[in-house]
Structure 1
Amino acid sequence: MTSRPVTARPTMKDVAAAAGVGLKTVSRVVNGERGVTEETAARVREAITALGFRRNDGARLLRTGRTASVGLLLEDIADPFSAALTRAVEEVVRAEGSLLFTGSSGEDPERERELALAFCARRVDGLIVVPAGDDHRYLLPETESGTPVVFLDRPAAGIEADAVLSDNAGGARDGVAHLIRHGHRRIGFVGDQPHLHTAAERLHGYREAMAAAGLTVDQRWIESGTSDPARVAAAVARLTGGPEPVTALFTANNRITLAALHHLPPRPPALLGFDDLELADLLSPGLTVVAQDPPALGAAAARALFDRLAGDSSPARRTVLPTRLVPRGSAERPPH
């Protein structure tokens, strides 16, 4: 039995020789650094492809202390909002020459903690977290040892960290004011669990808009809880039934809006949702929404993380991005 010859793995020196450039030039191209002309970079990439060169990340870790990887923790990666965040984060991470690892917490604080610490144990360079829990002090040892963490969609609790958020209260306030301008006075609110930052802020915006219009909020018009379709169906039935039903509904996230659309009465109330939905403009009437900008949120969070990795040591920042009211018809129905 004859053994197969072992082919040496090509090195940066081999690439440099094949491309006719110096070792530092190859290093810059491989690591996505500046200072190389496009013509030279193309020659280096051709040599990399021809030789089958692959970067040795183990050696990189020993040399720089960096693994060229980022961890992203989301509520649910299958949710359209989370999917858009992921794509935006991934584009920035890829442009920085790094890999993205993702996980879903399922709104479970213990699962969030478990995943975050697992990513840290695998030496990710930094974390982007859409938090489920309300105590993030478990990350203090990681941040104190130099691992930057950026919170996305909701702020951290118990630690100082960068956060990139939407203007949840302002968006809700604008949306409810839009319903009021169309003649609605009895407006129902169907929201997520009240301990969540986004849910609390959207309820706050609802109350602000009602107060600004001189309208008293009846507590019976407010339904907060999980996004479970059965819970939303029961909430919609109660709010739109009885002798004094609400004339409009404000559904405070995309999953709640989707569930509500399946359970509207034959004479539906005006409907305004927080978060845009795919094909919302194809409904009849089209769905009026307060739209966030998930790509901008994800990109801003990723850029904030790489700023920290590049040495930014300024105090923690909170970045708040505006929302946008998109009228399409469903919220413009008059009261009946």
Structure 2
Amino acid sequence: MWESEITDNRRMTHTNVTLAQVATAAGVSLKTASRVLAGEPHVAPQTRERVLKEARVLGYRRNAAASLLASGQQADAISVIIGDMTNPFYAAMAQGIEERAREHRMILSLSSSGEDPDTEWELAKGAARQRSRALIVVSSMEDNSQYLDLVRTGLTVVFVDREPRAIQADSVVLDNEAGGRLAATHLLEHGHTRISYVGDYEWLPTQQARLAGFSDAMSEAGISNWERLVRKDAHDVARAREIVRELLDLEAPPTAFVGGNNRSALAILHEVHSRYPVGRRPAMIGFDDVEWAGVLGLSVISHDSRDMGRQAADLAFARIEDPSKEAEMIELPVALTERGSGERPPFS
């Protein structure tokens, strides 16, 4: 082993030894040092031994990513960009992608944009520079056309959860409009008319589709002024709780809530449980069947997040096999899971 052979006191203790340092120590050109460490033939035996010796002495470690870039090869990796590492919806989706990646003997590189478009784009370019086989992204951009620049470099790009805009690309999304309609219809059937929708960022396609479905159901039921109980931009629990408190303080507060994402649903639960006794609580329906929803008895618009990840990965591998095929969008169904919170009658 190299470690046991190293006795030269020139051995460096840090890990950022460069190829140039090895070449200088061995008295050869950078190109020759590179050829030796890459295992290429046609190098004089004495020169090879000298370069390898200096690499051992200095503690040089070859950078696999840099080697791939230099060779033009692609890494056996799938890059994934999500919006929020703490969101259980994305965690389940990433598990599904990883399952498929393992089947293809590839590793998963997971990162978070924090819902910032600039951060997302830097991460996406990084995936291209590292020569990932594919990028699966939950995009926070309102215009995805610049992804075409990455596709032209040979990077396979698949959009998941949020459909791409201003670009034709493979994607896996939910039938969000049906989900919004299903939630509103269920509450209407239980006698509610003052139903509040607490949604995500207004620009998100998921938010727009869910609210569109909710809106259709309310309008078709002949409910007037339902828009006054619609709130948007509740992306995190803290902001959603502020919004729910304001709604509950109204002279005629909602008798039912639809949480447009799992964060707003959790906020509704917090505020309702802290303010009302069991028999007087407003009805509630959330989106995403996360683990705590079952524990807390929350009725939800459910779907298989892990399967969404698997299908996104399947699209990526299919695109790798056939880059010329037409872009495909898979829309996954949703269903209502009843647990009691969405089945309460109006309390007043």
Judge same fold: TM > 0.5, yes or no.
yes
Deviation at 1:158, TM superposition (A): 2.2
1:113 to 121, 138, 143: 121
Alignment of 1:230-245 (within 5 A): 230-245=238-253
What residue is the counterpart of 1:315 in the other structure?
A: 326
**Is 2:98 the partner of 1:87?**
no
**Is 2:220 the partner of 1:212?**
yes
What residue is the counterpart of 2:293 in the other structure?
A: 280
Q: 1:117 to 1:61 in 2, by over 3 A?
A: closer
What residue is the counterpart of 1:292 in the other structure?
A: 303
Worse-superposed segment, 238-247 or 326-335: 238-247
What residue is the counterpart of 1:306 in the other structure?
A: 317
TM-score (norm: length of structure 2): 0.76
Deviation at 1:242, TM superposition (A): 2.9
Provide the rounded CA distance (Å) in 2 between the counterparts of 1:3 and 1:196: 54
Deviation at 1:5, TM superposition (A): 6.4
What residue is the counterpart of 2:131 in the other structure?
A: 123
Provide the rounded CA distance (Å) in 1 between the counterparts of 2:140 and 2:71: 35
- Structure 2 SS opposite 1:331: helix
Q: 1:309 to 1:255 in 2, by over 3 A?
A: same
- Structure 1 SS opposite 2:244: helix
**Is 2:339 the partner of 1:328?**
yes
Deviation at 1:134, TM superposition (A): 1.2
Q: Are the counterparts in 2 of residues 187 and 249 from structure 1 also a CA contact under 8 Å?
A: yes
Provide the rounded CA distance (Å) in 1 between the counterparts of 2:157 and 2:124: 10
1:269 to 282, 286, 289: 282
Q: 1:3 to 1:278 in 2, by over 3 A?
A: closer
Q: Are the counterparts in 2 of residues 210 and 217 from structure 1 also a CA contact under 8 Å?
A: no
Question: Kindly, what percent of the aligned residue pairs are identical?
Answer: 38
Worse-superposed segment, 132-141 or 107-116: 132-141
- Cα deviation code 1:150-188 (max 9, x no counterpart): 000001122211110011110111111111111111100
Q: Are the counterparts in 2 of residues 191 and 224 from structure 1 also a CA contact under 8 Å?
A: yes
Q: Are the counterparts in 2 of residues 86 and 298 from structure 1 also a CA contact under 8 Å?
A: yes
> Given residue 304 of structure 2, which amino acid in structure 1 is its aligned partner?
D
Provide the rounded CA distance (Å) in 2 between the counterparts of 1:142 and 1:191: 32
Task: For structure 1, list consecutive stretches of 5 or more residues without a partner in the other structure.
Answer: 7-55
What residue is the counterpart of 1:137 in the other structure?
A: 145
Q: Are the counterparts in 2 of residues 248 and 335 from structure 1 also a CA contact under 8 Å?
A: yes
Provide the rounded CA distance (Å) in 1 between the counterparts of 2:3 and 2:175: 65
Q: Are the counterparts in 1 of residues 128 and 153 from structure 2 also a CA contact under 8 Å?
A: no
- Structure 2 SS opposite 1:158: coil
Q: For this pair of structures, how many residues does the alignment match?
A: 284
Q: 1:332 to 1:66 in 2, by over 3 A?
A: same
Provide the rounded CA distance (Å) in 1 between the counterparts of 2:4 and 2:127: 38
Deviation at 1:4, TM superposition (A): 5.1
> Given residue 109 of structure 1, which amino acid in structure 2 is its aligned partner?
P
Please, what is the CA RMSD of the aligned residues? 2.3
Worse-superposed segment, 130-139 or 325-334: 130-139
Larger Rg: 2
Provide the rounded CA distance (Å) in 2 between the counterparts of 1:241 and 1:335: 17
Deviation at 1:140, TM superposition (A): 1.4
> Given residue 291 of structure 1, which amino acid in structure 2 is its aligned partner?
S
Provide the rounded CA distance (Å) in 1 between the counterparts of 2:288 and 2:128: 31
Worse-superposed segment, 109-118 or 305-314: 305-314
What residue is the counterpart of 1:223 in the other structure?
A: 231
- Structure 2 SS opposite 1:250: strand
> Given residue 330 of structure 1, which amino acid in structure 2 is its aligned partner?
S
